[in-house]
Each structure stands twice: as C-alpha cells, then as structure tokens.
Structure 1
Amino acid sequence: MRVRDGVPTSGGDAVVRTHGLTKRFRSGQVAVDGIDLEVPRGAVYGFLGPNGSGKTTTIRMLLGLVQPTSGEALVLGTPMPAGAVAVLPRVGALVEGPAFQPYLTGRKNLERLDAVDATADPRTSKARIGEALERVGLAAAAGKLYRQYSLGMKQRLGLAAALLRPRDLLVLDEPTNGLDPQGTREVRHLVRELADDGASVLVSSHLLAEIDQVCTHVGVMSRGKLLVQGERSAVIAGGRTASNRVTVTTLPDHVDRARAALARLAGTTTAVIAAPPGAGDDVGPLDVDGGVALTAALGSAVLADVAPALVLAGVPVLGIAVERPSLEDVFVELTGEGFDVAR
C-alpha cells in the first residue's frame, strides 16, 4: 500500500481516481476537503463514514450531479463531469434514494428508463428488465404500482434500474436502506456476484458489518476528509492502537506465571486486561474445566509466539482463543465516533 500526501492508497489500475477533490457550499461549509480517492479496477470498495462526512457529496461529484469547487475526478479514465455523456452509460448508480413515477408499475418505470437510454438496445429491453427484476427479487411485484411499494421494495427497484445493462462500475449509496435482514443478505450476495462478473463496485453504507463481509478495499471519511484507504486487510493492520487480543486458559495456580509471560510477550506490564472476581487482578473467570482465562492485547507481538512463550514459562495451556482487530475498531480509532452496525 503506497502513500500519497500522507494517505495510504491502493495503487494500480483505477476505475475512480480523484485529486484534491473539494466541494465548498455557498454557506462556507466544506463538505469534501481535497480528497484523493482511488478505487482499483475489480474492487468492491467500501466507502465508510458517519452521517455528514461527505460520502454522498463525493459520489454526486463523481457522477456529475454536483460541480466540484476544485480538484479533479476521473471515472473510468475520463474527466467528470465533462465526460458524463461517454461515461455514465457504463456506470450503474443508486444515490440517496430512488425516485420513480408513483402511478406506474415497477416494470413500466424500468421500461421508461430503458427507453430514454440512447445506448440501450430496444430489442433486448424486455429480457433485460425481466432479468434485473429477478436479480433484486421483484419479479412477483413487477406489476404493482410504485406508490404501493414498501421502502425496501423501492430500494430494490432502484437497484434493478442500476442493473438494466452490464456495467463497468456500480456506485451504490446506502443500497440496503429500508431492507429487512433477508434483503440485506441478498444485496450482499448481489454485490459479490457483480464483482465476480467483472464489475467494480463502490458501495457506501452504514452497515459496517455488511461492508466488512464483501469489501476488498475500504476508504474512511470523516468531516470531509479521507482519513485512510487501501486494501481492507492493510487498513486494519495499519491501525495505530488496534491489536490482536488473545485469551489463554490455564490452571488457577499458574495465573501469575501466565500473566507475566503474556506481559513480556506484549512488551508491557499491563498487557492482561480481563479481571474476574476471586482470581486476582486482571484475570478472567473460572471456566467449566476449572481453568482461569486471561485476556491480553498483544500489540505487535506475533500470535504464533504465544503458545511457545507460555510453554517455556512452564504454564499449562488449557486453551487459546484469538480475537483479531476489526474494521469497526479501526473506524472508531480513526474518527473517534461509533458506527451504526445494527441497522
């Protein structure tokens, strides 16, 4: 992962690349502050950030819906918004919320959209619309009026509109908004399918757990700035305070020796952080086998060294469990804010 202007980037061929992209509104508010975004070709790029961080404004600038104050944006290698006519037919997008004619059916709405696309083949319209409706689970409701759709169904129709033709790039802003857990899983599988089919996907979402399961790359926005971006694993590994945690279960009379061994391994005397009643400070509760669990943050220590270090210290090891740092840990570390992982 290389670094540009202090921000790690992914390098390589990119379907989206910006330099110094900035949006300042008339009120003086800076919604996007000089970001250098880079989405590699073939990536599923998770675009993360709290509400108001500038994600949607960035996406709107990439699609030519908002004029940037300064900076440049390349989408599929073409400057935007100047190249919108050439680029947008190759891009499928769902931004903020879908808007359709309320007194037309879902199918009729898609037919209207397809008819105004000068680059679409009218001879294949019916088949493509049927396939798009099937992929998002709306085939059975295609004849229902849009005004009768639930929020989740409206969101699904917006996804179908983005999938009317094969796309080189899919830009999805909060694609699971209004969907139930089953619908959310379906969108997750759909994103994977699109990537497997060769599309690059830029997806913005508040469902951090969902993003974490599908993304290959991530970018984290906060207060208009891009704090970090790159391959998911590299971003997590690059966290300043996030570290592997290991829980070791040993016999009660070996607690002090185990604590000392873990502290030496982590290079600190305060490595052990769990504290159960009746077993001394910084020691975990008794388990069903009569053992005691100790949990330590290992910092940069190598996980493979844990068991040998304990054995060399004469500590009987009844069990070892590892908890690796998560994308949520890194997000909270970078932004100082919690993330809505539940809805």
Structure 2
Amino acid sequence: MTAPATVVPAVTSPVTAGTAVRTQGLTKRFRSGQVAVDGIDLLVPRGAVYGFLGPNGSGKTTTIRMILGLVRPTSGQAWLLDSPNPADVLPRVGALVEGPGFHPYLTGRANLARLDAADQTSDARTADRRASEALERVGLLAAEGKPYRQYSLGMKQRLGLAAALLRRRDLLVLDEPTNGLDPQGTREVRLLIRELAQAGTTVLVSSHLLGEIEQVCTHIGIMSRGRLLLQGPRDVIDSRGVARVAVTVAPGHVATAAGVLRVLGLDVSIEELTLGAELGTLAPARIPEALVHAGVDVTGFEVRRPSLEQVFVELTGEGFDVAR
C-alpha cells in the first residue's frame, strides 16, 4: 500500500516575485460522477519552468483548460497572471493545448496570419516579420507554403508552437509539446524552452515523459488520478527520500572501511569492493574524511539520491514513461 503523500508547498522563485498561475481548491467533476481534478492548489512562480508531470489521464490537461478559461471548474478558483478572469490576460499568454488545430487547406503561414489577425492586441504592421520569426524558431520556414493537411504530426506540433510564439508572452503553457516530434525536434523544444525562460517568460509544460521534463524544469508538480501529490522547487523535490552513499575502496581495505562506517553509525552492506549505506543525517563529507584518516585507500565515493522517477513511483505506486 502506498503511503499518503504530503504536498510540498511551492515557494516564490528567487529571481522573480509573484505567481504566474495559482489555483485554490480547483475541482472538475463530470456529469458521470468522475472527478477529473480533485481540489488542487497549483502554484507556478513567475520566472519558473514548471514541469507538470503525470501519466495520461491524471488530470493535467483538464487543469490547464480550467486555468485558461476553456473549461469551467466545478468548484475552486484559478488566477492567471494574478487575474481571476483569464480573458483579461490571455493576450499575454501563449498556449498549446491538446495538439494544434488549423485550417487544413491553408498554408502554415496563412494559418498563422489568420490567428494573428484575430488578436486585436497585435500590431498588423509587424505581422509578416513576427510570423517569419516564429516559423524560423520552430524550423518550419522552409515549409511555410505547404498546406497544413500535408504536414506530418511533428510539423503540426511545430506550427502549434509557432502560433504560441507569434508575440512575446509573459506565460507560455505547453501541453505535451514534444508529441509527435523526433529526437532532434524534442531537443529543439528543450532548447527553445530554456531560451524563453532566460528571456523572462514563465513556462508551464505538461508531459507524461519524465525524462524530457527533468532536463529543463526549475519547479515540479506531480499529478496522479486528479490529485496534486507534490510540488515545489526542483532541488527540494530532488532531496526527498533516503539518500545512500556508495564507497569503493582498494583490495584489502574493505574490512577497515566497513568498521569506519559502522563507527559513524551507518548500517553497511558490502558488494565486492563497494560499501553501501543509507546516509541519514550524517554529513556526506565526514565519510571520506574518516576513511582517509583511518588509512583506507578510497577509489570512489558517491551520494545517490532518489531520481524523479523513483519519487513518482514512491508517491503513486505507478510506473512512468521515462523515454519516448
């Protein structure tokens, strides 16, 4: 049986004060009685790259749709860029939710032009330049004249990203942005997210591919079965769980090393020349210091903390897609 999870409160980003997304008791219950989102308190600090993680069906997309005002919550409240009314701030928000949808017989550029023209806050004088820049950023400039219906799944996903990047956004919300992309496209999206964050855009990226999120996020939120089980800064989440130490010593030094570790209060396991133990509250630096002082020839020393995948499994008892 999985132990009840404790939500780690998210903290304000050390770089930028305030929140880009905040919810309180946000809940969505469908007519069938299914609870898709169960009273979550999401907090995305401004300036963060927030990885919204969870298996397919965990409630991530429904949460995003409520935040953006696309779905009305059953109860609870959401604030987007400090506004309780998403319509007031949507021009400052770029979003790609549940895959892009465009006119099939228009070209990629023409589809962007239609979207841009519908935005009353955009500057028509710079529309062509902004479309070109957006297409170039996602690698579609060479295919701008091709009808959308001829685009591959990955190209459609890229065009959706281009639409979200037609102008500078304070917040970018990406739901499964690497869906349909090849490894090179996936790497490009990671680089794009980093560039946007460095330029001051807050990014909320939802994914069931943990390996992709691990590489870019400063903050993490983990969803499972409609509940937000854990959220907070990446370093706080990385420090969860029991850390273990692994020490490798030269032949003939194992017994002495084991004795030193036991004196330090550690319960030691031995596998050939490697000794392992749960670190507990002991400062890691004390271990090699004590071993060297005892004359042990240390050839390797490593502190191993639970991976994000292990944290997820510990919380939910479920597996996770860690690679495409």
Q: Same fold (TM over 0.5)?
A: yes
TM-superposed CA distance for 1:297, in Å, is 3.5
Query: Is the alpha carbon distance of 1:263 and 1:131 closer, same or farther for their aligned partners in structure 2, counting shifts above 3 Å?
Result: farther
Aligned CA-pair RMSD: 1.7
Kept in 1: contact 2:246–2:275 (CA 8 A): yes
Report the residue type matching 1:66 in the other structure: V
What is aligned with 1:226?
228
Cα distance in 2 for partners of 1:210, 1:319 equals 29
What is aligned with 2:252?
253
Cα distance in 1 for partners of 2:311, 2:7 equals 17
Report the residue type matching 1:249 in the other structure: T
Kept in 1: contact 2:212–2:323 (CA 8 A): no
Cα distance in 1 for partners of 2:284, 2:33 equals 49
What is aligned with 1:304?
285
Kept in 2: contact 1:10–1:229 (CA 8 A): no
Cα distance in 2 for partners of 1:263, 1:36 equals 44
**1:162-214: CA deviation from partner (whole Å, max 9, x where unpaired):** 00111110000000111111111110010011111111100011222221111
Cα distance in 2 for partners of 1:263, 1:209 equals 36
> Per chain length, whose mean CA-contact separation is higher, i.e. which structure has more relative contact order (CA < 8 Å, sep 6+)?
2
Kept in 1: contact 2:80–2:86 (CA 8 A): no
Alignment of 1:140-289 (within 5 A): 140-237=142-239, 239=240, 241-243=241-243, 245-265=244-264, 267-269=265-267, 271-272=268-269, 282-284=270-272
Q: Say if 2:316 is the partner of 1:338.
A: no
Cα distance in 2 for partners of 1:327, 1:300 equals 21
Residue 41 of structure 2, aligned match among 36, 44, 49:
36
Cα distance in 2 for partners of 1:221, 1:264 equals 42
Cα distance in 1 for partners of 2:153, 2:278 equals 43
Query: Is the alpha carbon distance of 1:294 and 1:268 closer, same or farther for their aligned partners in structure 2, counting shifts above 3 Å?
Result: closer
The normalised TM-score by structure 1 is 0.87
Cα distance in 1 for partners of 2:70, 2:216 equals 27
Alignment of 1:55-134 (within 5 A): 55-79=60-84, 83-134=85-136
Cα distance in 1 for partners of 2:134, 2:77 equals 33
Kept in 1: contact 2:174–2:205 (CA 8 A): yes
TM-superposed CA distance for 1:124, in Å, is 0.8
Report the residue type matching 1:310 in the other structure: L
Kept in 1: contact 2:79–2:86 (CA 8 A): no
TM-superposed CA distance for 1:264, in Å, is 4.7
Cα distance in 2 for partners of 1:144, 1:116 equals 22
Report the residue type matching 1:96 in the other structure: E
What is aligned with 1:328?
309
TM-superposed CA distance for 1:315, in Å, is 2.2
Kept in 2: contact 1:255–1:283 (CA 8 A): no
The DSSP-based 3-state class of the residue aligned with 2:9 is: strand
Report the residue type matching 1:21 in the other structure: L
Structure 1: any 5+ residue segments left out of the alignment?
A: 273-281, 285-291
TM-superposed CA distance for 1:261, in Å, is 3.0
Report the residue type matching 1:334 in the other structure: L
Structure 2: any 5+ residue segments left out of the alignment?
A: 1-5
How many pairs are equivalent? Answer: 315
What is aligned with 2:138?
136
TM-superposed CA distance for 1:92, in Å, is 0.2
The normalised TM-score by structure 2 is 0.92
